[in-house]
Amino acid sequence: MGQHHRILGTRHGAARVGRDISRRRFIGGSSAGVLAAVLASCTGGGQSSEENAAAGGESSGPGGPLQWWDQFRPLTEMFERDLFGPYMEEHPDVTIERRQMDAPDLGQALQVGRRSSQLPDVHSVAGLGSSPAALVSEGWFQPIGSHADFEGSPVADQIFDGIHRFDGEIYSFAPFSGRRHEAAPWLNTELLAEADVDPEQSPATWDDFRAAARRVQDGTGDGVHGVLIPTQDPIYLDALVHRLATAAGAPGPGAIDWATGDYIHDSQPYLDAVEFLVSLQADGVVHPASASMGPRDARARWAAGEAAIYPWGPWFIGGLLVEEPEAVERGVGVWHVPTPETTRNFVYSSPAPGVFWVSSESDQPELAADLLLQMTTREFQAKLAAAMDQPPALLDVVAEADVHPTYAQNVSFFEEDVRIGPVPEVATPGVWRVLAEMRDIHPNLGEIVQAVLTGSTDDVAGDLRRYKDELSAERERALEVVQGEGVEVDLDAWVFSNWDPATDYDQQAYAER
């Protein structure tokens, strides 16, 4: 999830099948049998939007059925009812087949599909573990801007160089809003009421949050815990700590000091954010099985009433309505993200990333682009809001959409708490080539936090400093590589002297930089 995409866990069956496919078979396997094995592990049923037609093997259009893969389980019904169905009715010669998978399974299926030339026409990038910029540079996708008028669409002002547009060509767009984060405390209001904690009153500070969690722990029955932190997933922890650090005063997104361009993973706000999570464990309010949970596992535990508070993203309630609707009926609330002091800082996000991309292997790019363009209309955006996943790109449609009041409240909190920060690759086209060249550094932020919370290390400051230093060195190496290829970019690309912490860094700010 992430730039963050949604962060999804892996169900037991899917994880087992994934483990049974060895790395050698996964990387080298080009047979349809390996791809079928990966797809068989999908937990979303792997159903096409027109199952009967697909079962009959009928094709439509010059390239056969349009294949679409993604990880958005809460959006399944909405996609089929409000996007694919109407499009196929209007275009009788078109058939669209969709597969929904958990993110790890999707990443495996895409890797195997690329090796065997069986990629779908349209897919998301969840589970691939690479940035879209890197995937563009490796030739995964083809541009869509010449096939459909995204520049004239309602989301045109949210299309950015280095995120959606590369070398002057539009490859993707943002169907969702960047004004969101993954650290909203979601509440079991029934448990909070039992502990006499007001779900309508957000704790003002981290200490207030800790006190509320202790009251829940002490004021409810045996087996109920204050907070869930799914420590098994470093990606979840990475996102959570980034958000808490900006709430503690760090610039963002990206853990970069915009005055100097330096990485700041070892700065005081990041140390404070990790210490806050450690303090929750020291208070004894974190669910004791958290170390063995991924985000989806944790949501199921929350839905079962094992804990009262779970920090996660806006898609939380949409996922509940699909898989644990009884938890929503029982009572669900949400708070502002807490901050260290009563004087609140903003949480910073990037502009929303591209989500759906057209494969370079697709022989139906015009059809794929036209279908994607339908997602930019106000009508579809309102239906997207009603699915209660990530907030739609056109945030104002939430007010007119059929959404749960708690979802609407969460979106209103985002509008108060979140600002859009600078993104170097938008300002300087060469940056995305640097990012594509950079190799992953391990342990990364999420892995360091995981080690801290599981007791594998207690040198938080030292580990964060080493990560920052190694990441800085890797950026310098990547810069030298792309500069040697004639790309004009240097460390100044990461400096934004006109950044105003209180306002969005928008297209005008980039122009005035």
Question: What are the structural domain ranges in the chain?
Answer: 12-179+355-416, 184-349, 424-491
Query: What's the CATH fold of domain 184-349?
Result: D-Maltodextrin-Binding Protein; domain 2 (3.40.190)
User: What are the tens digits of pLDDT across the range 249-296?
Assistant: 999 999 999 999 999 999 999 999 999 999 999 999 999 999 999 999
User: What are the tens digits of pLDDT across the range 74-91?
Assistant: 899 999 999 999 999 999
User: What are the tens digits of pLDDT across the range 193-235?
Assistant: 999 999 999 999 999 999 999 999 999 988 899 999 999 999 9
pLDDT at 133: 87
- Rounded to an integer, the average pLDDT of 56-75 is 74
User: What are the tens digits of pLDDT across the range 452-497?
Assistant: 999 999 999 999 999 999 999 999 999 999 999 999 999 999 999 9
pLDDT at 129: 83
pLDDT of 69 over the 60 cut: yes
pLDDT at 415: 97
pLDDT of 429 over the 90 cut: no
Q: CATH number for the 12-179+355-416 domain, one of 1.10.10.10, 3.40.640.10, 3.40.190.10, 3.40.630.30?
A: 3.40.190.10
pLDDT of 99 over the 80 cut: yes
Percent pLDDT > 90 in the chain is 83
Contact (CB, 8 A) for 420 and 179? yes
- Unique residue bearing structure tokens 């990966």: 38
**Closest to 104 in 3D by CA, of 222, 10, 241:** 10
Query: How many angstroms separate the Cα of 203 from the Cα of each of 50, 185, 207?
Result: 47, 10, 8
Percent pLDDT > 70 in the chain is 88
pLDDT at 74: 83
pLDDT of 27 over the 90 cut: no
pLDDT at 63: 64
Phi, psi of 427 (to 5 degrees): -75, -35
pLDDT at 124: 97
Rg for the chain, CA atoms, rounded: 22
3-state DSSP assignment of residue 512: helix
Contact (CB, 8 A) for 353 and 163? yes
